[in-house]
Structures are given as structure tokens and as C-alpha cells.
Structure 1
């Protein structure tokens, strides 16, 4: 019997970001709801057709979304935040209000999807009574069947993962109420003819996946299985190995999905030692769904043959390690890259091709030369000078000679206070200001050669000048230049560093319609000339107030890039740290006294297994300190982190030894503040007091309340007032209005804090 292949999920955004453009056109009012739905249907069906044409046997249905698949699932089961429960659960307005907020309502919290850079909307359980609002999966399944003749594989987030990722105290009760609703959804799909249904339970790969969780899983899936007929249930895991392997494979379902790429070899060892049930199908993730390098098909064939020693051919499905939403759509359009790099790339479409070739080879034991030829591109890149830079390798051999320690923090604070003389509760922003249509148009003209370097530089300086004046008028205490010359906080640095490539169409979804082009770290990384000095020095020349130099830190560049897979990530991180160190030194030498090295991705890179945390934290903290340790004590180092659960790494944040750190707390409603009730933080800190991802302008009383709440546990002498993230995606008018409110709230609290200090 032939081995089948399967896909877990396909990129939503389209080759040229058609999904993003449709979404934003609807938000702007350029499309009616009917036009929006029709455009989205066309995109959705085209993605299914492409997978069919690529030879995929089990095509996922329901992975497509208008914003976020977790939000879709929560709404389908009536888990709306309490403030939205009077609204129609099935309306697009309610859906987008939950995701983005409105003038009256704060958006739902957003955080990272496990250890990826994808953000999901956090469900709020509260006092919700779960109910089935609409079986959207049934609609999508029937659509694919009727329109394209595809008997697809519906995909749904499992109840344990859905509730584990939610906020609320009543999780056990909610799970029990969800079970009959899941049964109804799954049974309706089975009645419609669905052969396989994929139930995603990535919570099983985390350190919290203990015996108690699997006991609950056995009970839940036992109930579901007893109620189900005429379909096969596949429990899908990804991103790591499942330590409770025996418990997982004993669940009363028809198939188990395991990640054989990012599991450190654990899954294969478990398979060899514990075997695999004779009555189940193994869906083996053997193609890397998170990175962009071609698979070594010859090595992958050997892996599959090893798996076949424990699993019969008719009970094996080959697939990517996870959903392909984490990689771009296709490498075909990347004509500007070095051929050595381009030929070694594999995006979503290429990974589907790899699956097809692999399946055909295993089934028919032919095309051995095809495998060898396919693998040659990676071999050629590995042996090229791009991955063998002597200057970089010499520096790596002397890594211990680069300092990682600064003067004691208290001494630094005294010298910095004397140098800057800032008021109590100083105000600042995180870095970027609105990237208007005009800014983007001018950048595009420059890239096309329609503007000279000088013309473009003059335009950027005009924008910097305008926004320095705006900041002065707003009476912000510490200014920024606005980052108008930058497309993305990682992409910009990827363009400047050798050994890193920027794609043309290599977009991936970060949150909502926000798409980024992760740099491709293909070789040894080297800084050949300063990257940010020109614009920062110009901005500082326009004001007596300090202007922060703005850099992206080595950990975030690493975690938000596609990284070469022939070296340990820690080695690439060390290369990046030396590049940022040189840039920090260049800024200081040019007279910049405050330098912000942002690390928003530090927490998201934390391994899913707690036993791996110590090494990761040691590597990342050391890299950050190496990047910033060579400056003088009175040079102030800032950093910024956003949209992650930081409670687990408070000590690591402190160990970074930054003089000032800003952290997002607005969407989490200040919950991080509880961590500081237990942990004494004695460096400068700003807990973002309003949400920049919502278009609403906050009321002053909201911000005053947020500041006061923070000051209950933080020293006013150390507290900074700032938004929770950069303002790049916001409009000009709302940005100025919100910052005006923020400054006014800070002044109000400053006066009261000063009065209290003198009593």
C-alpha cells in the first residue's frame, strides 16, 4: 500500500500579500462586506487548488483565517471577552473589534504562539458559557468539496490547547462544557464525509504536559471517540518532542502527529524503544516547516526508512513538521538573490514539492539521481566563501576577549542622572513613528532608482526634522529620530550586514495583517560600516534633549530571521553580538548618549522544554551584554521587549544589565506588574501604558490608572512612561493625540509623586 502525504497548514497571505491587501482594504472601507468575503473566498480556494496541484493527499481545511485561527476557534465556541458578549458573535465587526479594539472597547490580549513570531489573540474565559455559534469548519469543508472536489482534512485546535492558551480561572469547567460542542462539530464533519480530522494539541510538547494532563486527555478523547462515527481523528503535535510518548500514543484516536525535525531526536528514539501502536497511523513531520532551507532529501529518505522499521507503510503519512504559515509562499520569485543562496531555499511551495518527491521515492524507490541533484544546491552553499569568512571566524576564536561586564549599576545611574537631569517619570517612545503612504512611496522610488541617494536622504532628514519638532512640542523628555529610513526593525539591519539576505516576496504573517520579511542568515555575519549613525546624529543635532540611538539586538535578529542550519544558533548569535557591539561603539563615539538595543524576541525564543532554559538564557544574556558592555558608565543603555509572557524570565531580564528596560503591559492589563511585587527590580523600567496596536486614543484617566498601578510596586525614581511598542503602524493624527494624553498623564502623576516624596 502506498504511503500518503499531508500538509498541516498553508500560508494565508498569498504570493504578493493579496490576503493582507484585501483585509486592509476592507478596514479602510474600500470593500463592502460582500466584496471582502468574495475576495477572501477566491484566495482561500486558490491556496487549496495549489496544494492539490502539488500532489498533496490530505489538504488542510480551516487553517485559513481572516485574522487568527485561535480567535476563530474561540468565537466558534462562544468564548468572547465579556465586554463583547452583547455583540453578534458571528459578525465581522465583532470579530475585528476583539482583535483590534474599537473606540469604545480595548482589544483582546495578543501574545506569541509558543516559541514562534506568530501572535495569537488570547481567549478570555471569564464567566463565558461555551456554545456553538457556527460550525465554520463544516462550511469550509463543504466549500472545498463542492467547488474543487477536494475531500479535505479539517483542522481544529484541540480543547486542551485552546483552554491552556486562554485567560481565566475556570478552565476545568470550560473544558467539560466544550467537549459536547467539539463532538457536535466533529460529528457534523464526519456526516459530511470528512475522512480525517486533524486536532492540534501542541500543548502536549510543553513542560506542562505531565501525567495529569494526559489523564485528562484520555478522558476527553475517550468521550469524543465514543460519540464519533465514520471518521478518523488525528492528534497533531509540533515544535518539539512529546516526553509523555507512551501516554500520547495510547490516546483513543486513529492517528498521532509527531515532529521529527525540531525534537532533538527524541521522537525517533521513543519510536525505536517503545514502538508504535498497530492500530494507529503515524503522521511524521519530516520536512522543516519553520526554516527556509532545502531539505536534504537523501538524509530524509534515511530517516523515513528508520521510521518504517517501527511503522508499517500503510500506517505512515509524511508531512511538514508544522503548519507552513511560518515560512513564505514560494522562492520562485526571488530573482535578486545570489544564485548560491536562492538555489538552496525552500519556501512553502517548495516544501510541498519536497513532500511529493519524497513520497514518490519511498513508494516507488525511483529517482535516486533526482534526490542527489536536489541536495547539491545546499552542498554548494556550504562549501562557498559565503559561509567561510576568515575575519568572522578569527573573531569567534577570540570571543572571550570581548568584555561582557559594565560598571556597577548604581554607579552608572548616578553618572547618568548627572549627565541627563531628567524629571521624575520621564516620557519617551519606543522608537518608530508612523510610516505613512508617502514615506513608503518615497522609499520605493529610491529603491527603484527614481530618487537619487541624496534626494532620498534629504527626504528622510525632512521627516526626522518634522518629528523632532512634534516631539518637542509634545514635551517628551527623551526623543527618537523615528526610523523613517527603515522598513522593519530586523529587515533594516539584515540589509546592512554581510552574510544576510533580504528577500523580495519572502513575507510571513506576524499578527493580523502585519507581515514581515525575515532576513535570511545564509553565511558568516560581518559589520563593514556603521548602519544608524548618520540619521541618529542628524536628529540629535536638532534638539538639546537626548535622542536615543535605535538598534535591534542580536537575539531578536536571530529569532526573527531564517537562520543557517549548518551551525548551532548560539554560534550565529555570537557573530551578531559582535556586529551590534561595533555599532554601539560607533554611536557612542559620534556623541549619542542613550542607545536602545531592542530585544522583543528574547522571551519568544525560550525553549518549550524548561530543562533547556538555562543554556538559552545564558547564551542570550551573554550575547546582549557583549553587545553593550564596551560603552562608558554615563552612556545609558535601553532595551525593549513586547508581547510575551515575561514572568518566567524576570531574573534574566535583570541580568541583561540594561540601564532602562521598557516592557509591554497594556494588552495584558498590567498583569506583569504582579511579578514585580515578588521581584525587586532596581534599574530603570517603563511598563508600556497604552496599546499601540489599537487605533483608539486612550483617555487620560486610563493612563493615570496604569501609571499609579505600576508605582505601587516600582520606585518612581526608576519609572519611565512610554507606549507599549513602536508607533510605525499607527496614523499621524492618532499618534500625536495619544502621545499628548500620555505626556499629560505623566505630568499629573509626576506632580503627585513629587508631592508625596516631599511629605
Structure 2
């Protein structure tokens, strides 16, 4: 006897198989297409996404997961949450205003952007303030109607839950969250009532903020929100969806008046399953079981997943079980079908979004008693994984021995910062408030085309090297002309700050089309750590040495740090992340030494992703930060006392980890603060920080060029809590995505602002 298990998806990648979404956005922004054509092309992409899930045989297909930029921004504008600095007079938010909130415009800076929990996706932070929410347009309803009319799909509308939306927002005291929720609730209820009136059956309400942890006040707020919703829309099936971690305390969620609860059984550490076994499962609720990893690119082990379903079935009847990914598939590429160059042993072990949906269908069939086609296909998965796991490069003895001996390495620099900083000041003789950039300069179409010609063999190595050297020389000349104090070579040879290093390290492989969205139209193609990571030969020395030969000013060597390489890669799933970070740190240690041996004695090892890897549960923070900090120090602490180590971090909340940042023991750290309007600066009012620091004085993620006075004010704000002797002046991130005209203008203003403040502090 077979049982039909329902399958569901939580969200689908937006960008398209060939990044059609990105190209359409950028065509609109550049004026190549108008709004009508933009909307038509976006509708075509949206329809393709729906049809892909339909063809995969998914029962509950999400709608309203598609967006023109970001789903949190969509939620804000849907409720009229538009900051007063924009010219908005109510009603549906115009498209250009929507993009202005995300990217800024000549009249107003963009809204803050930060990490979506512990992922590499960025969302636009809502600014609520005293605004009164009202439903300006029902985006989930429009998405539901579109799916039904265009594809015959009875979609499952997805909305960001009110609790999570408020937890992700700014502009009101935390103590006032209940009052703000009361203001929002009528608009949320109106949205759901309109969905119910349309005939919608299921609505997925995403509440990932729940997994961070619930206290008594949080639980009371959730009860207020969902009691109000339940009373207003009786009969509408609500799925309270959590992901990224265990939902604790689960007993509090089980009491909420919703018809289903979605839980992550991949990243929960076993806690969700344990809680269900201890508490039982209510007879009146469905369980959305996240059994397929929504953030990994590896095939699922069929036996492990079927065993998990069996355990769940001990507590939840199969006819009330919904099988789904652990999170939205936003975080993985679209399909493995596009990968034509990977060796078969690896390709067959991969599963991107489309393949994960197929896995769900097969597991549902097999768990429901189908012993035919599903079992045959799952047998193929078992064989593919066995071949992959047996690859010799996944068990290198030399790498294992280096990791085993890692504890023998020193844990600190030979001198503490207070002593070595004096040696560095004598060596470098930098002015007060030294100016620099974060590393990369614009990657123009000419640069990208040259790299493509080299990769395709149209240009040989010599011609490509000459091209890169010419770009470096022009960048050095420009930086000298602008008056910067510490220079960079520009990173013209690098496609990506992680992919570049992965291409030169053992243990990595690269996809052709494995793109994922980072923010807006910015897509990244994470390299894949499939085997043991090992140093092969110097990776950055050639370009750094050439750049230094062109100037008497110091040029920083530029590396990406071990934790960022880890967090911005797709990582093998048979080792702990800590173990892989150790492998990467040991490889980078060789590179840092190679730079220093070549005369590069100012070395920046960027860790922009160290904060995003922080576990969501507070009790897990210490262990992660200990090994993350240790990995950075392993890579950098062997240099001479006069060698100045820099690092960079961006788009994260650092207030709660200033101590860990200091423990990294970098001589200079630069941190993004521009979009958060200097809020991070307040952290230094409560914490002493004695090392060099640069708080980014302008936002490079917007084409807007701030005036000198604006940057001057940003610098002076920081100097209220930081000593001028430790402060560096820099943009908030690399300049790769900007054009040369705006880059030159912004850097010129930055140097002038630094000069203004120097005069005041002379």
C-alpha cells in the first residue's frame, strides 16, 4: 500500500539559468530598456521558474518568492514603509523609488543593507520609525493570480512573517516592538484576508528569526500576532516556516494557532527531531519537514534521508507530513545540467535547485511505498556518492598531518600590538589619518573581455599579463595623482575574491554556471571545496611585486582570509567547517610568507564574511569565534613585527563581537559603516579598541558620489570615540562594481575630506 507524501518548495533561485534576471535589471538601470519591457521580461523569467518547479512534480509551489531586488524590501514597500528622505506620497511605490531605496539616488542615500541571517545573501533593512503601515499593493495576491493564469498553478504565497520583519527592521526602540506590531497587524490581516477571498489554500509565513531564540516576551508577541491573524482568517491554512537552525522552544510554537509548522532537519543539530520525540506532534497540525539541504550543492544520501523520514513517521502520520528543502533554494544555483566540464565523479555528486526538487519527489515516492522507479533512481544516487567519496584527493595524508600539527604553531605575533605599532610607525612614516582603498578597482568591460579572451585561448599568457600590468600601472598612477597614502594594485586579474584563490589551491573545483545572488543584481559563483585544501604555489606575488616596483608609496598585498574563503565557498559535507578552515589557513600561511619574502610588508587579509558565519544561537558563538580567530592568526601571525597586517569586514553587525575582532590581532581593520550611518561607531563608546581602524566613509554599493562635507562629517563622527592616531580613511568596500568616473570623483572627495580633518587635528 502506498501513501502520497506532499512535497513543497520554500523558494526558488531568482536569477535564471543564465542570469537572465541580472541582465534584465542592469539593462533597465542603464536605460537600455524601459519599464514596460522590463516588466514583460521579468514576467517571462518568473513564469520559467514556476514551470521548472511544476515539471519537477512539486505539490506546493511558492509564489511571491520572486522579486525585482529583495524580498524584505518588497515587504517594506508593500506596507508603505518608505523613509521620509524619499519623495513618496502614498500608494503603490513606483519602480524607480523602489530601486532608489535599494541603491540610492542623487537626492538620498540608499537604505542599509546587511546579511540575511548567516548566509551570503544581503537584504535591505526596513526603516520603520513612526510610519503607519498600510497595504499599498498585495504582492502575494498578484503573484498567486499570475501563477494561476499563466501556468495553471495553485500557488502557495510566501510572505515574510511580521515577527521576523520587525526583528530585521530599524528605527524604533526594541522595547516598543509590541506597539509597532500592533500598528502592523491590521495591514497584515488585510493582506491575508484578500488571499483567502481569492481562494488561496496554503500561505507560507517565513519566520526564520524564531530560530535565534525566544524569550518570554518574544513568545508573547508571537501569540499576539498569530492569535490576531487566526481570528481574522479562519480556514486559511498557515504554514509557520522556520529555517537555518532548531526552533526552540518548540513547545511554544506548537501552541500557536497555525495549521502547519516548518522545521529545518538539516541544520538543527538534531534538536528539532529530539524535541518532537519528547513532546509528540499535535494531531491538528501538519509538519513541513526540511530534509534536503537548501544551502548545500551535494546530493542527499538517500538512506540517511529515508531513515529520517522513518523517524519522523513515528510521531507524525505520513498523510500530515510535507517534505521540503531546509530553506529557500535561493542559496544554490539553478541546475547541474549547465555544467559540461566537470569530471563525472564530481558532477554526479552534485544537486542544485532543480536536482534537489527531483530528490524530494523521489524520496516522497520511496517513503510512501513506491518500490519501482523511485528506488531505481535513488540506487543511482547511492552509487554516485560512493564513487565520489572514494576520490583519493579527499583523503590526503600530507594535509591531514599538517592539520594535526597545527597546535604546535604559535598563537600570537612575537610582539604585542602596543610594542610593534611603534616599529611600524617608524618604518612607514604615514601621515595622520592615512588614506587607502579596500583593494579592488573597477572591473570594466575591457577587463572582463580580456580575461575571457585569455581563458578561451585567444590571448596567450604573455599578452594577458601585459594587459594586466598596464591596468596596474594606470591604477598606481591614478592613486598617486589622487593623493592616497597607501596604494593597491587593483586586482584586475581576479574574477572574484574567493574564486581567484580557489583556482590556485588544491581541493577546489569550479562550475561554469553555478551562480547565486548576493545582493541586487550582484551574483557570485562560489568555488567548490570538494577535497583537501592545499597550497601549490604563490598566488598573488607577481602582481603585488610589480605594483610596488612602480611607486615609492607602500602597496598592500591583497589576500582573502581563511574564514571568508570557507563561508563564500560551497564546502564539502564530510568534514566540519572548522577542519576545512584549518586547511585553508595553513595554505594561506604559505602565501603570506611568500609575499613577505618578496618584499611586500603591508598585507591585507580580508575577512568580510567572518560575521556571517556566526551561529544563530548565542550559546554557539564562542566556539565558532575561537576557531575563526585562530584560523586568521594561523595565516598571519608568523610575519615580522614591522610587517603591517590589515583586514576588512563588511555588512554585518559587529557590536557584539568587538572582542573577537581585537583578538584577530590585525594591525589595521576596516569595517563598513556608511549605510548604517555610523551606527557601529557607537560600539566604540562602550568598548576600548586600541588598534588601527578604518570605518568606511562612503558607500561603494551605490553609484552616488558623496560630497566632501558629507565624508568630513562621517570622519568627525568617528573621531568622537576613536583617537585620530588610530583612524584610517577608506571607502567601505572594494570598488570592483563601480565605474571609473564615479570612483575617481568619490576618492578625490575622500582625500579632500581627510585633508580637512587633518588640518583641524594638526
Q: Do the two structures share a fold, i.e. TM-score over 0.5?
A: yes
Counterpart pick for 1:119 among 119, 122, 126: 122
Match of 2:200 in 1: 194
Match of 1:757 in 2: none
Find out whether 1:616 has 2:616 as its counterpart. Answer: no
Structure 1 residues 422-441: aligned runs within 5 Å: 422-441=430-449
Counterpart pick for 1:69 among 44, 60, 71: 71
Residues 47-81 of structure 1 deviation map (CA, whole Å, 9 limit, x = unaligned): 00110000000000000000000000011011111
Counterpart pick for 1:661 among 665, 669, 672: 669
Matches of 2:181 and 2:217 in 1, distance apart?
14
Find out whether 1:706 has 2:700 as its counterpart. Answer: no
Tell me the secondary structure at the aligned position of residue 15 of structure 1: coil
Tell me the secondary structure at the aligned position of residue 241 of structure 1: coil
Please say which of residues 400-409 and 50-59 is displaced more in the overlay. 400-409
Match of 2:410 in 1: 403
Counterpart pick for 1:2 among 1, 4, 10: 4
Counterpart pick for 1:128 among 127, 131, 137: 131
Please say which of residues 86-95 and 197-206 is displaced more in the overlay. 86-95
Q: Note the aligned Cα RMSD (angstroms).
A: 1.0
Find out whether 1:516 has 2:486 as its counterpart. Answer: no
Counterpart pick for 2:32 among 22, 30, 33: 30
Please say which of residues 706-715 and 371-380 is displaced more in the overlay. 371-380
Please say which of residues 517-526 and 335-344 is displaced more in the overlay. 335-344
Match of 2:100 in 1: 97
Residues 596-619 of structure 1 deviation map (CA, whole Å, 9 limit, x = unaligned): 000000011000001001100000
CA drift of 1:85 comes to: 5.1
Counterpart pick for 2:325 among 320, 325, 328: 320
Please say which of residues 422-431 and 79-88 is displaced more in the overlay. 79-88
Matches of 1:341 and 1:532 in 2, distance apart?
28
Residues 451-498 of structure 1 deviation map (CA, whole Å, 9 limit, x = unaligned): 101000000000000010000000100000000000111111111111
Match of 1:172 in 2: 178
Contact 2:605–2:645 (8 Å) recurs in 1: yes
Q: Return 5+ residue gaps in structure 2 as ranges.
A: none
Find out whether 1:372 has 2:379 as its counterpart. Answer: yes
Match of 1:473 in 2: 481
Contact 1:426–1:477 (8 Å) recurs in 2: yes
Match of 2:212 in 1: 206
TM-score, structure 1 normalization: 0.98
CA drift of 1:87 comes to: 5.1
Structure 1 residues 154-173: aligned runs within 5 Å: 154-169=157-172, 170-173=176-179
Tell me the secondary structure at the aligned position of residue 510 of structure 1: strand
Please say which of residues 374-383 and 523-532 is displaced more in the overlay. 374-383
Tell me the secondary structure at the aligned position of residue 84 of structure 1: coil
CA drift of 1:403 comes to: 2.3
Tell me the secondary structure at the aligned position of residue 82 of structure 1: coil
Contact 1:82–1:126 (8 Å) recurs in 2: no
Matches of 1:87 and 1:302 in 2, distance apart?
56
Tell me the secondary structure at the aligned position of residue 597 of structure 1: strand
Tell me the secondary structure at the aligned position of residue 235 of structure 1: strand
Counterpart pick for 1:289 among 286, 294, 300: 294
Matches of 1:258 and 1:527 in 2, distance apart?
40
Please say which of residues 743-752 and 398-407 is displaced more in the overlay. 398-407
Tell me the secondary structure at the aligned position of residue 368 of structure 2: helix
Counterpart pick for 2:361 among 356, 373, 386: 356
CA drift of 1:287 comes to: 0.2
Find out whether 1:335 has 2:343 as its counterpart. Answer: no
Structure 1 residues 565-584: aligned runs within 5 Å: 565-584=573-592
CA drift of 1:373 comes to: 2.1
Matches of 2:491 and 2:256 in 1, distance apart?
52
Contact 2:240–2:258 (8 Å) recurs in 1: yes
Matches of 1:649 and 1:381 in 2, distance apart?
38
Match of 1:12 in 2: 14
CA drift of 1:334 comes to: 1.3
Contact 2:82–2:88 (8 Å) recurs in 1: no
Match of 1:144 in 2: 147
